[in-house]
Structure 1
Amino acid sequence: MNDRAHVLYYLLWLVFPISALAARRIPMKDSFKMALAWLAIFGVLFILVSLWQEATGAGGALGGLFQ
């Protein structure tokens, strides 16, 4: 697959959750709050895993940001 096909593939996968939210007619304010909550959850998990990798010597995804 070339790069354009990958971009099209990922855009197609983004359409599914967006269309599901549109079909349920959830207010934008609530959708925005849910999106921020999910970003916070994944952000905290990312930081915890990175710190755990640094502590075990496996190398962190943050590239030594906390040194």
Structure 2
Amino acid sequence: MTDTSMDLVFYALVLILPVSALAARRLPLGDTIKMALAWVAIFGVLFVLVVLWQGAFGAGSVLGGLL
């Protein structure tokens, strides 16, 4: 196997843990989707803050000048 395929196997295994934990709790699908969207929003806001911080203080851009 190549490094890329080993990376894919690793990421699949890493995703099994949170998915199995959610399945074991047997949460309603609507609540699970709301929680996932909340986490995406939290990380999205943090990402934007980091990009703005780096732009303000001249540390370069996370996206290589795309923003």
What's the RMSD between the two structures over aligned residues? Answer: 1.2
Tell me by how many angstroms 1:64 deviates: 4.2
1:36 aligned partner: 37
Query: Under a length normalisation based on structure 2, what TM-score does the superposition of the two structures give?
Result: 0.90
Query: Under a length normalisation based on structure 1, what TM-score does the superposition of the two structures give?
Result: 0.90
Deviating above 3 A after TM superposition, structure 1's stretches of 4 or more consecutive aligned residues are none
Which ranges of structure 1 fall in alignment gaps of 5 or more residues? Answer: none
2:18 aligned partner: 17
How many matched pairs? 65
- 1:8-63 per-position Cα deviation (integer Å, ceiling 9, x unaligned): 00110001000000000001100000000000000000000100000000012142
